[in-house]
Amino acid sequence: MNSLAHSIIRYLTPIRLAKILPRGLVDFIKTISFIVTLFGFLSSILLVAIIGGNPIIDLVGAIAYMSFGVWTATFMISCYHNSYYYHGFTSVIGSEERHEEGTTYDVADVVRRKPDDLTDAFLTSPLGSMIMLRVGIEQYVMQEFLSQPRQKITAEMVPIKEGQIFSLMSVASFILQQDKEFKKFLGKHAIDDV
């Protein structure tokens, strides 16, 4: 049986890559390089047909080839990231064609921030913050709770059963079951249906 800490190791490299080259930037570069490549190839073919051989046509063709290389690199970066990002997705949505096990990318992204305090890592994540706001607990109240001394759940303490996919909802359920101080904190704020 693996622990959560061991299960997220496979995602650390793509997460670091996404921090260095954010998805939006990669997609923007990929789009621009595709347009430049397409325009370069089409214009060089058209110019050869109209003008014939010319050094400018060679320059346009060279730019198109370089742009194609940039497009290929950004396409490969997107494929690499997606292969990790969507790992386990079919198991989370219940598709039976291929069953994965372990954790999901978003769990690894949340847990890697604070592997020594799973409650803090989840509650300060975008999903955890949104959940707390929706139940009426302000950010500063949550930060006060997290700064108080309490028993912390580490990523090493969370077992991942074989054949199970551990999603963010699994993390939330585990925290609700295991973190007694957090359960008391929710009870103080009239949230007791957990």
Per-residue pLDDT of the chain (194 residues), as tens digits, is 688 888 888 899 999 999 999 999 999 999 999 999 999 989 888 887 777 777 878 888 899 999 999 999 999 999 999 988 887 666 555 556 666 678 888 999 999 989 999 999 998 888 888 888 888 888 888 888 888 888 888 889 888 888 778 888 888 888 888 888 888 888 887 776 65
Q: Which alpha helices (H) appear in 51-125, and where do they start and end?
A: 55-85, 89-93, 105-111, 118-123
Contacts of 156 (CB under 8 A, 6+ apart): 3, 4, 5, 115
pTM for the model: 0.76
Sequence-distant contacts of 172-178: CB under 8 A, at least 24 apart: 172/122, 172/128, 172/131, 174/118, 175/118, 175/119, 175/122, 178/153
Give pLDDT, residue 186.
84
For residue 73, what pLDDT is reported? 97
Structure tokens at 18: 């996404």
Q: What residue type is assigned to position 51 of the chain? A: I
What integer pLDDT is reported at residue 78 of this predicted model?
95
CB atoms within 10 A of CB 103: 30
Those residues whose C-beta lies under 8 Å from the C-beta of residue 57, and which sit 6 or more positions away, are: 44, 47, 48, 51
Nearest Cα residue to 185 out of 110, 176, 131: 176
- CB atoms < 10 A from the CB of 37, how many? 20
In this structure, the number of other CB atoms found within 10 A of the CB of residue 20 comes to 7
pLDDT score for 36: 95
